[in-house]
Amino acid sequence: MTQTDDRGLTDTRALRESEEAHAAAIAQVPKSREGAGGHGQRLAALDGLRFFAAVAVVLFHFVGQTPQVMEQVWGRPYQEVFPEWHAYFAYGRLGVELFFLISGFVICMSAWGRSPRHFFISRVTRLYPMYWIGIAVSACVIYLVGSPFGRPNPRVIFANLTMLQRPLGVDNLDAVYWTLWPELCFYLTFAVVVWKGLTYQRVVIFCGVWTVAAVLAPAAHLPLLTVLVNPTSAPYFIAGMAFYLMHRYRSTPLLWGIVVMSWLLALHFLLAPHGGRNNWETWAPWRGWLVLVITLFFVMIAAIALGWTSRIRWRWLSVAGTMTFPLYLLHDVVGLTVLHHYRDTSNPWLLVGVTAASLVVFSYVVHRLVERPMATAMRRWLNTAKFGLETPELRRRIRR
């Protein structure tokens, strides 16, 4: 056999081994479960959890707030208003962590198979219409009625309308707006994966890269990267995406590894003595309860991802899910102002109950009569714009 034949035989064998390795790699990727997580599909249990998280945050602000805020709202120390229950409702602040977990799951689900254009339009029309409505309502209450927290400079409104007040160094008009920056950063970074086209491998790689960045950015003292990756919030988004991959495909050791790592990092940041998610000077609960609550959140999302809640299909849960964002944005300034003005006229528990129930109804009305028409009009307008973001592959996919 000649040297040329030997080289050809070697090249053929190498090509065959390469093809076999590629086929083996493809075989390792779980196959998508038919119908899992399609567009427009709502998971009632997930909607129910979302509404539960919103109500938990509402009751935290009304009953379990920090001592200073409670005294501003109620005019006396919390020990005199809710002496026994304040400590329990203080755990409602952890509803935000549940929000982030759900968001990772839902955003990955809703973006699957979409072009960057569709992803951009869906996120803008989801966030900004209700956000602007919330700012308008809060501003009217603050400057016309008077909230217990004073009146900020009107220029704060302009910065808040951009949703970029944190990097601009401007205070939030409403305290609850702080959670929108982590959400926005998630959308911006995840858009890179959407632009390439969502696949199992790409989402897994994104989870890994984000995890590493969330750990290294603070350690390397990189302020810009730290602001972008949001280390204290990142583990929840990452775990949510891994849970969605379990839902769409199947659970694997790799996905469980991502979830466990995210759970450990979430607890690390939550329990950190300095620079963590909590200010231990205003709230010092038993650490074991924090571990238990966060673990319970992960378990509940896991149950949904694994299909254990598939029989829960109550329509009212889906309706409650649509009210979550309006309720979250409207409850703080409006609710605390109501409690402040009527604190001496009725029983505190009755006032909290009536105010919370009224805000739920108000949120539903705003969603149906204002937010939804506004979002529909914005979506229609943006759909006529030409962004030029679609890749040739995505254009072919859309035409099909």
Alpha-carbon distance of 74 to 342, in angstroms, equals: 9
More confident residue, 337 or 286: 337
Cα–Cα distances (Å) from 55 to 65, 104, 194, 334, in that order, read 14, 20, 32, 15
CB 157 within 8 A of CB 135: yes
Query: Does 221 map to a domain?
Result: yes
Closest to 48 measured CA to CA, from 359, 330, 301: 301
Tell me the pLDDT tens digit for each residue of 181-240: 999 999 999 999 999 899 999 999 999 999 999 999 999 999 989 989 999 999 999 999
Alpha-carbon distance of 257 to 161, in angstroms, equals: 39
Alpha-carbon distance of 296 to 139, in angstroms, equals: 37
Question: Which band of pLDDT confidence, cut at 50, 70 and 90, is reported for residue 12?
Answer: very low
Q: What angle do CA 192, 244, 229 make, to 5 degrees?
A: 40
Question: What count of other Cβ atoms lies within 10 Å of the Cβ of residue 305?
Answer: 26
Q: Is 115 exposed, middle or buried (0-12, 13-18, 19+ CB in 10 A)?
A: buried
More confident residue, 26 or 97: 97
Query: Does 11 map to a domain?
Result: no
Alpha-carbon distance of 254 to 336, in angstroms, equals: 45
Structure tokens at 124: 């803008």
Query: Does 1 map to a domain?
Result: no
Percentage of residues in the chain with pLDDT exceeding 90? 71
Tell me the pLDDT tens digit for each residue of 35-88: 454 444 679 999 999 999 999 999 999 999 999 999 999 999 999 999 999 999
Alpha-carbon distance of 210 to 204, in angstroms, equals: 10
More confident residue, 262 or 7: 262
CB 46 within 8 A of CB 108: no
Alpha-carbon distance of 152 to 4, in angstroms, equals: 81
Query: Does 5 map to a domain?
Result: no
Average pLDDT for residues 278-291, to the nearest whole number?
Answer: 82
Closest to 52 measured CA to CA, from 326, 320, 366: 320
Query: Does 95 map to a domain?
Result: yes
Question: Which band of pLDDT confidence, cut at 50, 70 and 90, is reported for residue 370?
Answer: very high
Q: State yes or no: pLDDT of 346 exceeds 50.
A: yes
**How confident is the model at residue 13, as a pLDDT?**
54
Decide: pTM greater than 0.85. yes
Structure tokens at 277: 């998610």
Half-sphere exposure of 255 (CA within 13 A, CB side): 23
Question: Which band of pLDDT confidence, cut at 50, 70 and 90, is reported for residue 275?
Answer: low
Percentage of residues in the chain with pLDDT exceeding 70? 86
Task: Lowest mean pLDDT of 21-30, 154-163, 164-173, name the range.
Answer: 21-30
Q: State yes or no: pLDDT of 398 exceeds 90.
A: no
Q: Provide the domain count of the chain.
A: 1
Q: What is the 3-state secondary structure (H, E, C) of 34-90?
A: CCCCCCCCCCHHHHHHHHHHHHHHHHHHHHCCCHHHHHHHHCCCHHHHCCCCHHHHH
DSSP code for 12: H
Structure tokens at 276: 């963590």
Query: Does 4 map to a domain?
Result: no
Question: Which band of pLDDT confidence, cut at 50, 70 and 90, is reported for residue 250?
Answer: very high
Query: Does 14 map to a domain?
Result: no
The residue whose two tokens read 């989801």 is 126
Q: State yes or no: pLDDT of 393 exceeds 70.
A: no
What's the domain range around 200?
Answer: 38-399
Q: What is the 3-state secondary structure (H, E, C) of 197-224?
A: CCCHHHHHHHHHHHHHHHHHHHHCCCHH
Question: Which band of pLDDT confidence, cut at 50, 70 and 90, is reported for residue 9?
Answer: very low
